Homo-oligomer: A and B are copies of this chain.
């Protein structure tokens, strides 16, 4: 098909006046509906936790015991290693970074913001999660791109970077069904991250388990437990793990969690005590009554999978049909998570996103999956298939594929 034919096809679609949003990883209404019982669970007759705390009142900084017991298996940690937060794991990550900036990561450590080098740097596997990068950008933390190597974060490069540069204080890791690539860290990647030598004593892995139970197939990925690996490697304090029910129950009113060594959690809780008296225990109680135990979460996720899988299939099918024959772009069919990562020809991503937008399909901004919003090759586009219906996705992907072709043709 030549460029004029593509253009006329594009203009025809544009004239249809679509209005579709594939920009964010939002659960659709059908997914949320499976948690609607949370909206009507009455706590009127019993608002006490198992240890007889009145959950309406003050107290309990780090979460009620039954919430810890419910959520600890998500991260594979003990109830002594978990802290229950508010409704946002992003907030817990942000707090972990600001705490380290202002007070350091332990009683002995200096605040990152007072590092002798005058700089604080984070390693950012790319493409990655834009909100991780925003935390760094907002706080003036320098970000270093880390490419993938054979589908895994380039661990040789990581080892080299952290061994040489003491101002590298952290690394963002979305380790299971990563945002946006869908990859899961291999045993080797996990072990080497746990064991590597870091010049900075106060280096931390920010281990975001946002999609750890969010499978799209029945063969679930296995990932080594990073906290166990860090302990075995003699670096028990190296990692902060994060998770939430944002994409299990309600994104706006779920429960966030973090986990770390007992040394880390003791220090974190001391500082959390300056900042709050405790998170919403009634919402913790609602979640416990809703799920009962970890098996309840696993069963719930199977229901969600049945809704989400066909959406991913629809996107992949369109890509296979429309773009593969023309060798336009690369993608990976993920086994879980919330995204499909699309790599077009160099220099086409921004144009593709703009063409889509002008035809009524909003995608995540090109570049958003890179620090500072800058994709050096202008290739990567994050596709978020969860929110629209399958019908809408087909329409949106028609626009997308034509836009990719057009953007590629104009380069040629």
Contact = CB atoms under 8 A, between A and B. Distances in A.
A32 interface: yes
A88 to B, nearest CB: 4
A94 B135 contact: no
B253 A56 contact: yes
Interface in A261-278: 271, 273-278
Contact of A87 (B86, B103, B275): B86
Closest 5 CB pairs of A and B: A138-B274, A40-B42, A94-B275, A253-B282, A40-B44
B138 A91 contact: no
B44 A39 contact: yes
Chain A interface size range: 35 or more
A175 to B, nearest CB: 21
Interface stretch (A23-31, A149-157, A358-366): A23-31
A101 B275 CA distance: 15
16 contacts: A26-B58, A32-B57, A39-B47, A56-B253, A57-B251, A90-B275, A98-B102, A101-B102, A102-B113, A102-B139, A103-B138, A138-B271, A139-B274, A250-B282, A252-B277, A253-B281
A144 to B, nearest CB: 19
Interface string A66-99: 0000000000000000000011101100110010
Contacts of A273: 134
A75 B384 CA distance: 40
A59 interface: yes
A237 B87 CA distance: 30
Given A39-B42, A274-B94, A86 B280 contact: yes
A193 interface: no
Q: Which of A40, A135, A140 has the most CB of B within 10 A?
A: A40
Given A39-B47, A139-B102, A56 B280 contact: no
Interface string A12-51: 0000000000001011010010011001101110010000
